[in-house]
Amino acid sequence: MYERSETDSVSWYEPEAVVYFQLVDILGITTDAGVIDVGGGASVLVDALLQRSFTNLTVLDISDSVLQVSRERVGTDAPVTWIAHDLLTWEVKRSYDLWHDRAVFHFIFIIAGASHVDRLRTDSRIQAFFVGAGSAAIGAIAGSAIPLGLELAHQWQLGVLALSAIWLLALRRGVVMALIAAGGIGATATLVGAPS
């Protein structure tokens, strides 16, 4: 993604993590705390943490090339551990006091079933994060659903949305199957010439 576009042109770019640091302050996270930024890539969050004198930082991203952008920006002497690895197969070898992600866990829960997250949930600090993140995830999903819903302009799209709602809410079936089925219906409709 970053190889094709500027780092500040992606939809999740945030020049300053104001709310993040308000939460860090409220939680009383100290500058020697272990902090991991999952999906950090070329994000400037690591810069802001370093400016606040944090000394125990880890940035994990699937792409080493985007991590290199941050490495070069903050300098090689910065107290940061850079990990180029897929989160789905990465083995957590230490504990972290603060885990930051850019909706990475949302994708893992939905697509991969979060099979390895059980290991993380045994740490009380991670449990505290999950408790706090629940309401934030609901807000993020609702906040995304409204603008996406407003983009539905054709009857067949509304039909797919209605079927998905019945599948998820009335029948209480799985999210993964709803996503796969809705994607399949959408692709098929487009291939047969439905307006998009």
- 100 DSSP β-pair partners: 37
Q: How far apart are CA 33 and CA 9, in angstroms?
A: 31
Provide the residue ranges of all domains of the chain, joining segments of one domain with +. Answer: 7-143, 152-191
Q: How far apart are CA 104 and CA 43, in angstroms?
A: 14
Own/partner pairs for 43-49, CB < 8 Å, 24+ apart? 43/7, 43/70, 43/102, 44/7, 44/15, 44/73, 45/14, 45/17, 45/20, 45/100, 46/70, 46/74, 46/78, 46/80, 47/73, 47/74, 48/16, 48/17, 48/21
Q: How far apart are CA 152 and CA 157, in angstroms?
A: 6
pLDDT of residue 47: 93
Q: What is the pTM of this model?
A: 0.55
Per-residue pLDDT of the chain (196 residues; tens, 9 = 90+): 344 445 554 444 456 777 778 888 888 889 999 999 888 877 889 999 999 999 999 999 988 998 998 899 999 899 999 999 987 788 888 888 888 876 555 555 555 544 555 555 566 665 555 555 555 555 556 666 666 677 788 888 888 888 888 888 888 877 778 878 888 888 888 889 888 7
pLDDT of residue 195: 84
Task: Please identify, in words, the CATH class of the domain defined by 7-143.
Answer: alpha beta
